Amino acid sequence: MTRLDDTPVPDYANRLRLDGRRFIVIGAGQGIGRQASHALAANGARLVTVDVDPDLATDIAAEVGAVPWSGDATNRDDVERLFADAARELGGIDGFVDIVGISRFVDLVDYTDEEWDWHFDMSLRHAFLAMQYGAKAMAEHGGVMVFVASVSGMTGAPRHAAYGAAKAGLMSLVRSGAVELGPLGIRVNAVAPGVVWTPRVSGYLGEAGEKRNSDNAPLGRVALPADIASALLFFASDLAGYVSGQVLSVDGGVGAKFPYPMDGL
């Protein structure tokens, strides 16, 4: 204590721990999902690792000592089954991390109805379903929901109109979930990455794309999946115990930049 303050000091390091807490990782098989699974498990969480590819779900489960599960996160029956199976396997659910999301580059004027609907399924519908069934599973004791959004939902990105609109919808859903589920003791947050050097992105952009995006970032590099997993871990832990309804941008400072070239100024 000091002369003016005798309030208790928490064990801040321990607030990061998740010992014995029961989490589902949706989209766990590679990239951000794989790293998030390791981050949670390394801090004591017990996991069900989910991927649409059963082999990937099994691979990551073997890495972190989790229970594998495979199904379609955009299908209501599958998501209902997921939360029922996970609660049975783990003895309850204390939280989930939902990483699912993928985009296709399409000019705005060329989108078909099918492409538009696909983006909303892959970037928003699964979050809506997970929030519904997760809320029911955690209603009696509270818990944590953490989603992966995108900076594309904050700013305009060429050929990303459907993806950006869906991710903006996800951010709104996070805020609504925080307000409605807060009285149940459920926190709802999201991380919004910029360019992340996942296996899929690296294969698409190649070395030239990595250099271009590294040069554009004030921190001088693209994000790694572990950078996003670290932010997800923060939201899942008690370090964020009074944080809800927030979207944390993890983009290496790109969003803070003056938008025009500075050469010659």
Domain extents for the chain? 18-249
Residue 156's φ and ψ, nearest 5 degrees, are -80, 135
Confirm whether 163 is a catalytic residue: yes
Among 12, 111, 133, 163, the active-site one is 163
Of the pLDDT bands very low, low, confident and very high (cuts 50, 70, 90), residue 68 is very high
Question: Do residues 118 and 163 touch, judged by C-beta distance below 8 A?
Answer: no
**Which residue(s) pair with 46 in the sheet?**
22
Determine the average pLDDT of the residues in 150-158: 89
pLDDT of residue 207: 83
CA nearest to 32, candidates 156, 179, 246, 199: 199
Which of these, 185, 171, 132, 144, lies nearest to 25 by C-alpha position? 144
The predicted pLDDT at position 124 comes to: 97
Identify how many contiguous H helices and E strands the chain contains and give both numbers: 8, 7
How confident is the model at residue 213, as a pLDDT?
85
Decide if pLDDT at 20 tops 90: yes
Confidence at residue 260, expressed as pLDDT on a 0 to 100 scale: 66
Helix 161-181 vs helix 113-120: crossing angle, to nearest 10: 40
Distance CA 247, CA 25 (A): 19
Token digits of residue 151? 């900076």
pLDDT score recorded for residue 105: 85
pLDDT at 180: 98
CA 188, 86, 29, 70 dihedral sign is negative
% residues pLDDT > 90 (the chain): 81
Q: What pLDDT was estimated at residue 216?
A: 87
CATH of region 18-249:
3.40.50.720
Return the sign of the alpha-carbon dihedral for residues 230, 13, 19, 133: negative
Residue 159 is predicted with a pLDDT of: 85
pLDDT at 62 (0 to 100):
98
- Read off the pTM: 0.94
What pLDDT score was predicted for residue 261?
A: 61
Q: Given this model, what pLDDT does residue 210 score?
A: 84
Q: Which are the contacts of 173, defined by CB distance < 8 A and separation ≥ 6?
A: 124, 127, 128, 131
Adjacency order of strands within the sheet including 247-250: 67-70, 46-51, 22-26, 95-98, 143-148, 186-193, 247-250
Torsion sign across C-alpha atoms 83, 139, 91, 45: positive
- Full DSSP string of 195-217: SB--HHHHHHHHHHHHHHHHHHS
Give the DSSP H or E segment for 116. Answer: helix 113-120
Q: Which residue has the higher pLDDT, 62 or 203?
A: 62
Residue 112 has pLDDT above 90, yes or no: yes
pLDDT at 103: 84
- DSSP 3-state of 36: helix
How many residues does this entry show for the chain? 265
Q: Which amino acid is at 225?
A: P
